[in-house]
Structure 1
Amino acid sequence: MTTQIPSRSQILDWLNDNPTTTSKRDIARAFGIKGQAKIELKRILREMEDEGLVERRRKSFREPSKLPPVTVLEVLRPDSMGDLWAKPLEWEGEGAEPLILMIPKAGEEALGPHDRVLARLTETPDEQYDYEARPIRKIGSAAKKVVVGIFRKTAEGGRIVPIDKGQDKEWHVPQAAAMEARDGELVEAEQSAPRGRMGLPLARIIARLGDPTAPKAVSLIAIHQHGIPDRFPDEVIAEADAAKPAGMEGREDLTHMPFVTIDPGDARDHDDACFVEYDRDPANEDGTILWVAIADVAHYVTPNSALDREARMRGNSSYFPDRVVPMLPDRLSGDLCSLHEGVSRAVLVAKMTIDADGNKVRHSFHRAMIKSVASLEYGQVQRAQDGNPDEQCEPLMEEVIEPLYDCYAALLRARARRQPLNLDLPERKIVLSDSGKVLSIQFKERLDAHKLIEEFMVLANVAAAEELERLRRPLLYRVHEEPSQDKLESLREVAQASGFKLAKGQVLRTSHLNHLLEQALNSDFNELINMSTLRTMTQAYYYPQNFGHFGLALKSYAHFTSPIRRYSDLIVHRALISGHGWGDDGLSQWDIEHLEETAKQISDTERRSMAAERDTTDRYLAAYLSERVGNEFTGRVSGVQGFGLFIRLDETGADGMIPIRAIGNEFFHFDREAQTLTGADTGIEITAGMRVLVRLVEAVPVTGGLLLDLLQLEGAELPSSRRSARRKGRPGTSAPRKIGALKAKTRAKARKVKRERKSK
């Protein structure tokens, strides 16, 4: 009987089907090859190896540049969606290490960064990653757990108190591992052993970050606490550095048009430019044509590239008073994708024709090249429009700046008809010295130049959503659903307690909320009503289905105007490129199939950045106020809880807390539905919106916490708390009561509210 020697294709098929048994003996046994026939098999395998069809790995054969089917992996940090990734401990192939997605079994022990596992791999040729890995067993515990905290020096070395509120366990640092850190210094450390003295995990300091109140530390705390990635992998930097400026091929040449960018004075990138011309069409008398050009990020960040995977994982840029954590490396965000003055830059352009009443008559989109004629600042443009142009704006007035404002005036008429939510919430700006000390907390000025750009961007975003709907292309909408009935009822109660009225028993529209805001305008309750209305709103998010945008009173809305700092906009750009057939860098099939996952991920990263930015602002405010402990401040009750009151200070807008024990000597009853605290003895009722005088007791820059004592409520003194009395050195004493006057004022206010309601 003659032994049948397998063909090369049969051998390759068998190796693919039997990845765990790949030695020459296994192959011979599988095909029934014995005796002298093994010599022929050995010759075929050698030829296949020479031709690169297989490679020898010790005494086994497999296809080249591939991982073995069972291998040891090191688990990486989870991304913002919670997906767990891994890298091979050994990689001998050409090019970058393959991307491996871990697929843990339900009920198995959780895996963490730096854990080592033996895993079975499955190739995923149709995915944006290379393998899926299913753990067989863990072969090593996590080698590195990192913590950021305050170092407290002890005789044996020290302890680290984590700054993350979710971590209450301290870490012990031996003397030899303390890196000569000072007491009270902010440090970064990694675990060196699971157990040390007194059962605390042992750690060694790997970086001394300095004074925890210093500017860099303030934002660094938030970055670490919220898990915001602030370092780009080498392959991402290399890919960005290798990028070349986009050429004119496949683009319309709009470099002759006088586009300008208008941004804050400290802006590092310029991703949008505008130009307005008057419409010469007699059918559109007094109409304008608005051109909004947005950096063509999709040209540089292509699907499944290292840049793309990193941008999707980050979701967006994060902004802090002293730094920006960008979504894209500076080579792109600050250079190739920034519309610098006098430099040709690749863009996607929304061209929108607007009539005299501010209605968008039609729109079109273009992949083009522009050259900005000027990089302008908001204040500079506003001063020019108000009659005081500088040397840069003077030659631009007639052709550029005046048409911009004429177009804006028309859009304001359309806005008045549409009635988007018109909240008046001043934005705080933290002013730092060159050394990083907080000089002041200012409220940013809202100029027409700011509002002009906002209206232009909103209209371009609407046009993008409508265009993709026309093209029947998938996209990510910016969704903002209307508030729940429970939240509306709470707002209605706040409004009524303040002497105002919110319509009931009809379909809610933003115009109803705007009417409430107009009632509160110029009253003592203006900030309270604005804040309460904001808290009533649901949080906006991204989703591939359209549920409208309640706050803007728009049926279709997508983000198109900031692809440098938002991944959602990059998806919209790709969809437009695909829909118009502008190139092969449009929306990929993987993008389409994973739109919902992408939407959830970038919605989550957006919330993460907002929380980090808010925490950083709180810490800066606490640092600023820490030098004024003991001072008195005016403010207003912004929230009522069973454990105390939240107070917003007038001067800085900072939020502090008054513990229930610091309000008075009596027992206070908390009414959850009415959101009130009522004194058991005096009958004093404390509600949101009341004016207060408080004393700053404590300001903790590391946590951003402010602790206050209540001195006066609606201009009347309250009984001092036991805590306050002890602080003054007079145990058991209390301030004079002026309860009668307070109750009389409360009754008079109630009668006034009642009369106003009847008159309405």
Structure 2
Amino acid sequence: MAGKTEFDAGLTREAVIEAVKLGGGEFTKRELARALALKGMDAKRALKDALAVLVEDGTITRSNSKTYRLPGALPAVSVVEISGRDNDGELLAEPARRDGGPIPTIRLAPGEGAGGKGTPAIGVGDKALVRLALQEDGSYEARLIKKLGQSAHKLLCVLRKPQSGPFRLQPVDRRSRHELVPAKGEAEKAKDGDLVLCQIARERRHGLKTAEIVEVIGDVSAPGAGSLIALYSHGVPQGFSETELREAETAPVAKQGQREDLRALPLITIDPDDAKDHDDAIWAEADKDPKNPGGWQVIVAIADVAAYVKSDGALDRGAFKRGNSVYLPDRVVPMLPERLSNDLCSLREKEDRPCLAVRMVFDKTGNKRSHRFLRGWMRSAAKLSYTQAQTAIDGGDGGPANVLLNDVLKPLWGAYFACREARNRREPLEIDSPERRVRVGQDGTVIGVETRQRFDAHKLVEEFMIQANVCAAESLEQKNAPLIYRVHEPPSREKIDALADFLPTVGMKWARGNSVETGRFNQLLKQAVTSEHYATINEVVLRSQSQAVYDTDNRGHFGLNLRRYGHFTSPIRRYADLTVHRALIRALNLGDDGQTDAERSRLTVIAEDITHSERRAMAAERDAVDRFIAAYLADKVGAEFPGRITGVTRFGCFVRLDETGADGLVPISRLGEERFEHDESAHALIGLQTGSRYRLGMAVNVRIDEAQPVTGGLLLDLLTEPEKGEKPKGRHRGRTGGPPNGRRSGKPWKKGRRR
């Protein structure tokens, strides 16, 4: 029946499929008949028969609402979640709910979701109702119908009293440029400079919208305001209900009971210097089995949160609502109340604690021979920091770590070196992505921004946690028990094509026909290490990757190059791990407090919700960092800094400052007298008169023109001359134009000062 096979009444297979495609998943049989200009009962019966044939052979699908669409195609009107931005700064989205299979590329149409006149701009983690249009390359263009959720109706603003005129409400979102007017009597609820949560009171055809003040949060200039703005802006739940707190305070302390006694083993915790909760402890020794010469035994013991957080109790419902802990520069918003997160569930030094542990056996080259899960009773021998453990193993003074050097640390490092061999053979993705830490003083102000050092001690703990997570997924699969996987899919074809198109511009290439594997990315990055374009290539490779999600459908973890992976090691701060703990307890008969039938039936919904919670937390964490760094740089306006272009768009370029990692915008209108346009394939802004260019990854010097702590925005002036290039030979596909580059009023352009 392929091609133009005829149905009755002259209908062709191709014509029916095209009509279904035209409907975008919204056409019923009646609307399809109208689209095909069918008249008369015979023609409509023929269409009914044709649709039945196409549904039966899987060419099209029929929904419960009796509409037809192509398999894998999205409905024309869909709920999506904003997932990130592409290399050009355009917002990307994913279906809020999907039926498995590859995730289609959804890109918001230019200008969509930008906000305006009191409407907040849409951002990463937000959900929206959109109308989708299928593009020729199989992607979708989305146009916003409305933003969903609380943020669609409430805005975070600062109440301001201008020198002349009435009070105004200024949205803190840097993309919302239009102020609001407090409704009558509302301004009396707060003081000038207060951070307030507002709700639109009345729509107006002309002029500014009016708003009511729902909640007064505090002084926007106070220390910590950056965190509060980020939390409120992204709807991160804060605090605990009275029921949760009461349940935590009255929770009976766990007893050893039938648990396996591990207190004779010197399990230790290794965490950041400022860690307050301790999820995991580790121990290793040489395997005494003569059949495994040179092998190792490793135990990873994890806080037994399931012993305290009962399924569907108040604590459980609250933890699910939060999804995870949120880590901001000056505070932590915990998933669980302090009595659990910092006390009963935390593996504190020299105190008995319940745990769920896995004993793993590796051969001398790091291959896992076996593993076994157990419900344990442990006592941490020491609480070490990464710095202490690394200093001791390197022969320095690591304080309390030196006492444990021979009996505890050296066996751990021996087991790690074996596992590292296996890791190197596996070839996980090795992207250079330094983590920056904002250091906040006791008064809440920023005292510096530093790059976190990454020791072997970090890699050791990380590798043992990865191995434990793999064991969790394997054990549950062996018992045919459903679980929530941590899924990281390979890059989409569109992203690989974009990478392949870009690499020749920096003298490198990507063979499109070969399979996409982590080793190919690693080889590319190794080749680029000595190149001036290494930072650019590293950035482009990073952006080509998919975002990890939680899902009950196992599609592997591309970045780690693992076939199965389930988060197990951080139940104090991640709800996903708690579900895996309960699943293990039930599947392996480790107690009567395991996964319930009700929870098991909801795993797919739980996975979708905690994926959203994670995105929400990540967005809040990024926003808070941006605001703290903007506050740090506010008194450095006019100062010059080196940086690198990390993004080019039709409206300008983004520059990341080397010292702080802060990202600022250089508007295209500030690039001088020449008109620049965006060349998407070259990831560059190109001058139309001379061909000079500002490209992704280019090292530049900038001057800070504005730093806004309230919005986290940095506005920069570019001081570096563009690179020379060939004059463009007219417009071509892939170019998007920006506005003419005019001078800023009252500030003449000069060489070296690009206004």
Deviation at 1:216, TM superposition (A): 1.4
**TM alignment of 1:109-258, pairs within 5 A:** 147-153=155-161, 158-164=167-173, 168=178, 170-172=180-182, 174=184, 178-179=188-189, 181-182=191-192, 185-189=193-197, 200-204=209-213, 206-212=215-221, 214-258=222-266
Q: Which amino acid aligns with 1:669?
A: E
Moved more, 198-207 or 672-681: 198-207
2:119 alignment counterpart: none
In terms of mean alpha carbon deviation, does 467-476 or 693-702 score higher? Answer: 693-702
Give the alignment partner of residue 486 of structure 2, picking from 475, 478, 485: 478
8 Å CA contact 2:360, 2:371 repeated in 1: yes
2:555 counterpart of 1:539 = no
Whole-Å separation in 2 of the counterparts to 1:694 and 1:164: 24
Q: One-letter code of the match for 1:513?
A: F
> Secondary structure of 1:636's match?
strand
Tell me the equivalent position of 1:437: 445
Alpha-carbon shift at residue 205 of structure 1 (Å): 6.8
Distance in 1 of aligned mates of 2:449 and 2:396: 28
From 306, 316, 321, give the equivalent of 1:313.
321
How far is 1:727 from its partner? 5.2
d(CA) in 2 for partners of 1:670 and 1:189? Answer: 38
**Closer/same/farther in 2, CA of residues 332 and 737 from structure 1, 3 Å limit:** closer
Matches of 1:486 and 1:206, distance apart in 2: 44
Greater shift, 565-574 or 699-708, is seen at 699-708
464, 467, 481: which is aligned to 2:475? 467
Displacement of 1:494 in angstroms is 3.3
CA-CA distance at 1:420 after TM superposition: 0.2
699, 705, 719: which one aligns with 1:711: 719
Matched letter for residue 700 of structure 2: V
Question: Aligned in 2, Cα 1:156/1:525: closer, same or farther, shift over 3 Å?
Answer: closer
2-structure distance, mates of 1:538, 1:666: 37
- Farther off after superposition, 668-677 or 378-387: 668-677
1-side partners of 2:200 and 2:689: how far apart? Answer: 57
Structure 2 residue aligned with 1:653, among 658, 661, 676?
661
C-alpha offsets along residues 493-550 of structure 1, whole Å, 9 cap, x if unaligned? 3332222333431111100000111112243322222211111000000111110000
- Residue of structure 2 equivalent to 1:549: 557
Give the deviation of 1:672 after TM superposition.
2.5
2:751 aligned to 712, 735, 743, which one?
735
CA contact (8 A) 1:156 1:175 kept: no
The DSSP-based 3-state class of the residue aligned with 2:400 is: coil
Q: CA deviation at 1:169?
A: 5.5
- The one of 343, 348, 372 equivalent to 2:356 is 348
Instruction: Please state whether the residue corresponding to 1:266 is helix, strand or coil.
Output: coil
Is 2:673–2:742's contact at 8 Å kept on the other side of the alignment? no
Distance in 1 separating the partners of 2:199 and 2:533: 51
Say which SS state the counterpart of residue 719 (structure 2) adopts.
strand
Distance 2:359 2:544 in 1: 36
Once residues 157 and 604 of structure 1 are traced to their aligned partners in structure 2, the CA distance between those partners, rounded to angstroms, is 39
1:619 partner SS: helix
- Shift of residue 179, structure 1, vs aligned partner: 4.4
What is the alpha-carbon distance in structure 1 between the residues aligned to residue 744 and residue 210 of structure 2? 41
Provide Cα deviations, 1:390-427, integer angstroms capped at 9, x if missing partner. Answer: 44122211111111111111111111100000011110
Alignment of 1:41-60 (within 5 A): none
Structure 2 gap ranges (5+): 1-94, 98-149, 726-739
Deviation at 1:623, TM superposition (A): 1.3
Q: Aligned residue for 1:561?
A: 569
Q: Displacement of 1:646 after TM fit?
A: 1.4
Shift of 1:694: 1.8
Q: Secondary structure at the match of 2:691?
A: coil
1:580 matched to which residue of 2? Answer: 588
Deviations 1:632-658 (A, max 9, x none): 222222111111111122222211111
**Matched position secondary structure for 2:291:** helix
Q: Is the 8 A contact 1:158 1:178 kept in 2?
A: no
CA-CA distance at 1:173 after TM superposition: 5.4
Which of 700, 703, 707 does residue 699 from structure 1 map onto?
A: 707
Question: Letter of the aligned partner of 2:521 in structure 1?
Answer: L
With structure 2 as the length reference, what TM-score do the two structures score? 0.74
Could you tell me which residue of structure 2 aligns to residue 600 of structure 1? 608
Pair 1:623-2:631 in alignment:
yes
Amino acid at match of 1:330: E
Letter in 2 for 1:453: V
Does the 8 Å CA contact 2:666/2:716 hold for their aligned counterparts? yes
Superimposed CA distance per residue, residues 345-397 of structure 1 (whole angstroms, 9 cap, x where no aligned partner): 01000110011101111000000110001010000000000012444122211
SS in 2 for 1:178: helix
- The answer to whether the Cα contact below 8 Å between 1:186 and 1:217 also exists between their aligned partners in 2 is no
Q: Secondary structure at the match of 2:439?
A: strand
Number of residue-to-residue matches in the alignment: 590
Over residues 713-746 of structure 1, what are the superposed CA-to-partner deviations in whole Å (9 max), with x where a residue is unaligned?
36889xxx97667554xx4x542899xxxxxxxx
Deviation (angstroms), 1:488: 1.3
Instruction: Between 524-533 and 295-304, report the one with greater CA deviation.
Output: 524-533
Matching residue's letter, 2:647: G
Counterpart secondary structure, 1:533: helix
Write the mapping of 1:369-408 to structure 2, written as runs, cut at 5 A.
369-408=377-416
**CA contact 1:177–1:205 (8 Å) conserved in 2:** no
Q: d(CA) in 2 for partners of 1:286 and 1:394?
A: 25
In terms of Rg, which structure is larger? 1
**Percent of aligned pairs with the same amino acid:** 45
AA aligned to 2:220 is: D
- Report if aligned partners of 1:637, 1:690 keep a CA contact under 8 Å in 2: yes
Q: Which residue of 2 aligns with 1:422?
A: 430
Could you say which residue in structure 2 is the equivalent of 1:492? 500
Cα-to-partner distance string for 1:655-704 (whole Å, 9 max, x where unaligned) = 11111111121222322233332211112133212222222211111111
Whichever residue aligns with residue 433 of structure 2, its letter is L
Q: Hey, what's the Cα distance between the residues in 2 that align with 1:312 and 1:447?
A: 33
Could you tell me which amino acid in structure 2 is paired with residue 468 of structure 1? L
- Residues 737 and 260 from structure 1, CA distance in 2 versus in 1: closer, same or farther, beyond 3 angstroms? closer
Q: Which amino acid aligns with 2:390?
A: Q
**Which residue number corresponds to residue 272 of structure 1?**
280
Deviation at 1:147, TM superposition (A): 4.4
Match of 2:535, SS state, is helix
Structure-2 residue corresponding to 1:304: 312
Partner of 1:357: 365
CA contact (8 A) 1:218 1:620 kept: yes
User: What SS does the aligned partner of 1:283 have?
Assistant: coil
Cα separation, partners in 2 of 1:607 and 1:195, compared to 1, 3 Å: closer
Counterparts of 1:456 and 1:413, CA distance in 2? 13
Contact 1:150 1:160 in 2 (8 A): yes
1:202 is displaced (CA, Å) by 4.7
Give the conservation status (yes or no) of the 8 Å contact 1:179–1:205: no
1:263 corresponds to which residue? 271
Aligned counterpart for 2:685 among listed residues 657, 670, 677: 677
Q: Determine whether 1:295 maps to 2:290.
A: no
TM-score in terms of structure 1 length: 0.74
Range 704-713 or range 404-413, more displaced:
704-713
The answer (yes or no) to whether the contact 2:358–2:468 under 8 Å persists in 1 is yes
Cα distance between partner residues in 1 of 2:202 and 2:313: 38
Contact 2:639/2:703 (8 A) holds in 1: yes
Q: What's the CA shift for 1:211?
A: 3.2
Residues 200, 209 of structure 2: 8 Å contact kept: no
Provide the rounded CA distance (Å) in 2 between the counterparts of 1:723 and 1:219.
37
Aligned-partner Cα distance in 2 for 1:678–1:341: 59
Distance 1:712 1:199, change over 3 A: closer
Aligned to 2:529: 521
RMSD between aligned residues: 2.7
Give, in whole Å, the separation in 2 of the partners of 1:538 and 1:176.
45
